[in-house]
């Protein structure tokens, strides 16, 4: 079988906060029926890119020329997922949990039983990488790379180390 995957960028949701709307109101605006028709019924899985943004996001004052003087701001967290889980049984979300992931993000993932991700291209560069195949945990999805990486063959040919190619 071929699975269909849809990627939602969390910043599309979070940016609504800057206009003084709550994330939860997005579904009042577009309607959960439209969400079901356009996303839930068309795709087997929905990967939420930048999932950590549902726990906290980096807020930067509009007057700042760079992101350096930003701060972590709390996101609505589970509100969106509670609303969706009331309407749809078994949310098919995959949480992109790469990068700096804190206890709150892990708890949010656990609360809704969302699988996380492992990336094979990250598996062989560092010792004891959680991405090494023998360290993959149950309830996770393995990808060869991400949209930030070269495709795996190009990575192997031009970016991998001799140690990585031997592994």
> Is there a catalytic annotation at residue 102?
no
- Residue among 49, 59, 104, 164 flagged as catalytic: 49
**Residue 148 annotated in active site:** yes
CA distances from 89 to 41, 44, 47, 82, 151 (A): 12, 13, 17, 11, 34
1, 148, 162, 166: the catalytic one is 148
Q: Hey, what are 120's tokens?
A: 């094979």
Reading the block at residue 3, the tokens are 């699975």
The active-site residue, picked from 28, 59, 64, 96, is 96
- Burial code (b: 16+ CB inside 10 Å, e: under 16) for 26-35 equals bbeeeeeeeb
**Catalytic residue at 96?**
yes
Show which residues are catalytic: 49, 96, 148
């Amino acid at each position: 079988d071929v699975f269909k995957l849809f990627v939602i960028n969390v910043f599309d949701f979070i940016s609504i906060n800057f206009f003084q709307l709550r994330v939860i109101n997005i579904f009042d605006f577009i309607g959960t029926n439209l969400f079901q028709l356009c996303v839930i019924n068309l795709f087997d899985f929905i990967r939420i890119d930048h999932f950590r943004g549902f726990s906290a996001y980096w807020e930067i004052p509009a007057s700042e020329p760079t992101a350096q003087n930003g701060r972590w701001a709390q996101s609505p967290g589970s509100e969106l997922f509670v609303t969706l889980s009331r309407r749809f049984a078994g949310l098919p979300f995959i949480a992109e949990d790469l990068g700096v992931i804190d206890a709150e993000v892990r708890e949010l993932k656990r609360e809704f039983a969302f699988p996380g991700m492992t990336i094979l291209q990250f598996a062989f560069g560092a010792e004891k990488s959680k991405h090494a195949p023998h360290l993959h945990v149950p309830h996770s999805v393995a990808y060869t790379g991400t949209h930030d990486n070269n495709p795996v063959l190009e990575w192997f040919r031009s970016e991998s180390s001799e140690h990585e190619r031997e592994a």
